[in-house]
Amino acid sequence: METARKTALDQNAPAGGWTALIDDVVEGRWVNPETGKTATVPYERIVIEESLAGAEADLVASLKLGERFTVVADHATFDAMGARVAKALTSLGPVETVILDHPHADMAAVADLTEKLAGAEAVIAVGSGTINDLCKFVTGKTNRRYAVFGTAASMNGYTSTTASITLENGLKVSLPSHAPSGFFIDLGVTAAAPRHLSASGFADCLVRSVAQVDWWMSHRLLGSVYSTVPYVLQQKDEDELNARAAGLAAGDIAANGYLHRVLTLCGLGVSFTGMSNHGSMGEHQISHYIDCFAGDRHPGTLHGQQVGVATLTMARIQRHYLESEKPPVIRPTVIDPADMARRMGDEIAAQCFAEIQPKIFDAKGAAEINEKLAAMWPTLRKELQAFALPVEEMEQMLRDAGGPMTAADLGLPVDFYREAVIHSREMRNRYSFIDIAADEGLLADFAAREQ
């Protein structure tokens, strides 16, 4: 019976297994189409299997991280897989466990985990976003390699070389860090995780369309760096994943397998570009604004859940422009530093205002942008249309996956969500169609239609 089940599942996997292509990248066989050279990435092993039962110790031993092991988890992830991993590692040497109580990826938790891991040799994270970011950042600061067993397909940060950390002043940022030496996924575990976690990860993948539109537009107008590599890596798997969106809500292993592939390949893209723009533009700024400034209005939703709602908002804004044969015509940028300070606090407002200076245009700068738009819009519009998914298709996929669709679905006050849409451009210096809509004087109207 088990053999028949495994055969059926294998038929849903890509030719070569769940890490086909990923293995080529990690082992230096994949040729970067932009350079014509084989790729190099800072990972030693990435393993995605339908079950890792009985293989945990061998996977960790292959990395040669040390002879004493510290497993880091929270209560939920320890129950899901941490206890199993800790028990398996006893065959290799002494094992300690660090169980974090409802951790947040902030500097206070970084300080706490730094102290707890002061004498640790081989650090093994068992969890998803918060656990991985904390272990990644703490071990990166002390130049110690680590491995992670993922317990949910909730985000694409497992294989990125940055960590999302909230600073002491409350500003959430992506900080340079390092990659895990080993990244291991048991699809049986992640498919059994609460369904909203996979829906959150799917939303982080759905971003591709709107992020690519924003990034290419920024590249063409402002000359910002752009790379096709992240999109080449994940294109085929994105199509496979989108076709299986409903399977995520049903706990389907194949759907979760393709979700992990896209999340992993997206994370690998950061190794080639040194930045996260390919999957993080205007829509992520809306989510960051929510996390930083919602305060007690924050419903406790996940990053990916917020990003999913913001992605639909972004797609509607972009659709307005991509359906128009007439180019946008922007005005000089109007941003009030005093109002920023009122909403953000003096320290964060000053930091953000300094960050966004390159995209604040005076009359001359606005005229130059308008001249470029007038000259290139017919061509640029067609280029951007090729990247964009239809809004209705994106809505259906997110609905099928079980993700929230609106601010009300998130449990977030709608007036605050609209504030986040309007002021998210103040968060960082990434130029998106939110900036264009704001400088055209249309953003408040777009935001007012969001529910």
At 431, which CATH number? 1.20.1090
Cα dihedral sign for 295, 298, 304, 309?
Answer: negative
The pLDDT value recorded for residue 437 is: 98
Record the tokens describing residue 281, joined without a space.
Answer: 């533009």
> Residues 173, 313: one domain?
no
Q: What is the enclosing helix (H) or strand (E) of 149?
A: strand 146-150
Q: Is residue 125 part of a domain?
A: yes
> Residues 66, 116: one domain?
yes
Domain that holds residue 381: 277-448
Give the integer Cα–Cα distance in Å for 422 and 439: 11
Interstrand relation of 172-176 and 162-166 (parallel, antiparallel or unpaired)? antiparallel
Name the domain boundary from 235, 258, 273.
Answer: 273
Q: Is residue 211 part of a domain?
A: no
> Residues 281, 253: one domain?
no
The pLDDT value recorded for residue 128 is: 92
Record the tokens describing residue 156, joined without a space.
Answer: 């694409």
Q: Is residue 218 part of a domain?
A: no
Record the tokens describing residue 338, joined without a space.
Answer: 């005093």
Can you give the pTM of this predicted structure?
0.92
Q: Is residue 308 part of a domain?
A: yes
The pLDDT value recorded for residue 7 is: 37
In angstroms, the first-to-last Cα distance of the chain is 48
Give the C-alpha distances (Å, rounded to integers) separating 387 from 100, 228, 279, 373, 380.
41, 12, 13, 18, 11
Q: Is residue 322 part of a domain?
A: yes
Whose structure tokens read 């998130």? 410
> Residues 333, 375: one domain?
yes
Q: Is residue 30 part of a domain?
A: yes
pLDDT by position in tens, the chain (length 451): 333 334 334 558 888 999 999 999 999 999 999 999 998 888 899 999 999 999 999 999 999 999 999 999 999 999 999 999 999 999 999 999 999 999 999 999 999 999 999 999 999 999 998 999 999 999 999 999 999 999 999 988 888 888 889 999 888 888 889 989 999 999 999 999 999 999 999 999 999 999 999 999 999 999 999 999 999 999 999 999 999 999 999 999 999 999 999 999 998 888 888 888 999 999 999 999 999 999 999 999 999 999 999 999 999 999 999 999 999 999 999 999 999 999 999 999 999 999 999 999 999 999 999 999 999 999 999 999 999 999 999 999 999 999 999 999 999 999 999 999 999 999 999 999 999 999 999 999 999 999 9
> Residues 384, 439: one domain?
yes
> Residues 97, 125: one domain?
yes
The three-state secondary structure class of 175 is: strand
The three-state secondary structure class of 98 is: strand
Give the integer Cα–Cα distance in Å for 262 and 224: 25
> Residues 290, 353: one domain?
yes
The pLDDT value recorded for residue 6 is: 44
> Residues 266, 300: one domain?
no
Contact 152, 197 (CB under 8 A): yes
> Residues 264, 337: one domain?
no
Whose structure tokens read 């993948």? 205
Q: Provide the CA 385 distance to its chain's centre, in angstroms.
A: 23
The three-state secondary structure class of 333 is: coil
Phi-psi region of 206 (alpha: psi -120 to 50; beta: other; left: phi over 0): alpha
**Full DSSP string of 45-86:** EEEEES--TTTHHHHHHTTT--SSEEEEEEHHHIIIIIHHHH
The pLDDT value recorded for residue 9 is: 45
Strand partners, 385: none
Name the domain boundary from 273, 294, 309.
Answer: 273
Largest CA distance in the chain: 72
> Residues 164, 254: one domain?
yes
The pLDDT value recorded for residue 8 is: 39
Give the integer Cα–Cα distance in Å for 270 and 161: 7
In CATH, what number is assigned to the domain containing residue 32?
3.40.50.1970
The pLDDT value recorded for residue 11 is: 52
> Residues 149, 268: one domain?
yes
Give the integer Cα–Cα distance in Å for 192 and 178: 29
Name the domain boundary from 238, 273, 308.
Answer: 273
The total number of structural domains in the chain stands at 2
Q: Is residue 200 part of a domain?
A: no
> Residues 269, 395: one domain?
no
Give the integer Cα–Cα distance in Å for 262 and 206: 10
Q: Is residue 215 part of a domain?
A: no
